[in-house]
Amino acid sequence: MQALMQDYKIQYLMSFFDTPAQPSRLNRDIIRSLLLLLITGSLLLCTSPTWANDAGFDFFSDQPIAEETLIIVPPPKPAWMTIGGPIALVAFFFIACLIVNWLFPFKQTGLQFNLHDLPIAAQRGIGMAVVLYGIALVFGGMEAHYQVNLHGDAATYFQQMGVGKLIAFTHAHLFGFTTSFFIVGIPFSLHFSRLKVYQWIFPIGLIASLTDIISWWGMKYVSENFTYITWGCGLIFTICYVWMLIGLVRVLFFPRVKWFPDLISEDHQRRWNEENKRS
């Protein structure tokens, strides 16, 4: 009898400890899942860009948003600026040409100049300078092509440029354009002094370079439409400069080669000499 009682007690104790085992495992699984969800949600919330950038932002608050956190989009510029600005710059180019023609009208003078009459050292120096300026022009074109490909277009390149850099850029190019045209344009214009068309190449190239520089500021502060101005003026500037370079190289390095402009210039010179002898 005593043995039966002990058996009953052992079975009762075992049933007391065994029956809650399944509910306890179920509770542990639920708690583990909830903890996992809580940790995952916390990590996602902490790594959210909105939370990271503005941790104190309350979506349901009625307080005004700080001004430094706002993204201000400038209003679109009116048409009189975006369209009228480039048109006004084109008008400036032609008006500058008319002013130059009015201040310095073409006229025949008694000056007779030939590059071959200069001392040999001067001819060598001018020839070497012309070649070096031609190489510099090629590298300038390569730099422009690189910057346009890097930034997508010319307008984007100048818009991302700081004011200080644009001032330095303008200063350097004004000096560079003026110096290069002066050194190349003076002997070219002196040698072809009898050709009226050739007397326009020097000043038109300078006016085109000035208009080009103004268009850079227009692209930065007004409109992308100034891109057409800078490409057009760049083309005019390049044609004028290359024309003078070819003319000087041909005259200095290949004196026996005669082109049609040379024949016209010599004919004008001969007529001038005959008219002055008669007078």
Inter-residue contact 251 to 189 (CB < 8 Å):
no
Q: What number is the average pLDDT over the span 245-266? A: 82
Structure tokens at 86: 């480039």
Same domain, 94 and 56: no
Asked if the structure places residue 76 within a domain, the reply is no
Does one domain contain both 22 and 160?
no
Domain-ending residue, one of 39, 69, 99: 69
Q: So what's the pLDDT on residue 11?
A: 52
Domain that holds residue 13: 2-69
Q: How far apart are CA 198 and CA 193, in angstroms?
A: 8
pLDDT in tens, 198-246: 899 999 999 999 999 999 999 999 999 999 999 999 999 999 999 999 9
Q: How far is 142 from 23, CA to CA, in rounded Å?
A: 79
Helices (H), the chain: 2-18, 21-46, 49-53, 79-82, 84-103, 120-151, 154-159, 163-191, 198-221, 226-253, 260-278
pLDDT at 170: 95
Are 124 and 13 in a shared domain? no
Q: Are residues 116 and 22 part of one domain? A: no
Residue 219 in contact with residue 227, Cβ under 8 Å?
Answer: yes
Question: Does residue 77 lie in a domain region?
Answer: no
* 24 and 101 together in one domain: no
pLDDT tens-digit map of 1-21: 454 455 544 454 445 444 444
Q: Both 64 and 105 in a single domain?
A: no
- The pLDDT tens digits of the residues spanning 65-96 come to 666 666 777 788 888 888 999 999 999 999 99
Same domain, 135 and 251: yes
Q: What is the pLDDT of residue 72?
A: 72
Decide if 164 is inside a domain: yes
Residue 74 belongs to some domain of the structure: no
Higher pLDDT, 270 or 198: 198
Distances (CA, A) of 176 to 81, 144, 161, 208: 30, 15, 20, 14
Which among 15, 43, 69 is the end of a domain? Answer: 69
Determine what percent of the chain is predicted with pLDDT higher than 70: 76
Residues 136 and 94 in one domain: yes
pTM over 0.85: no
Do 22 and 121 belong together in one domain? no
- In 3D, which of 198, 40, 178 has the Cα closest to residue 106? 198
Number of domains in the chain: 2
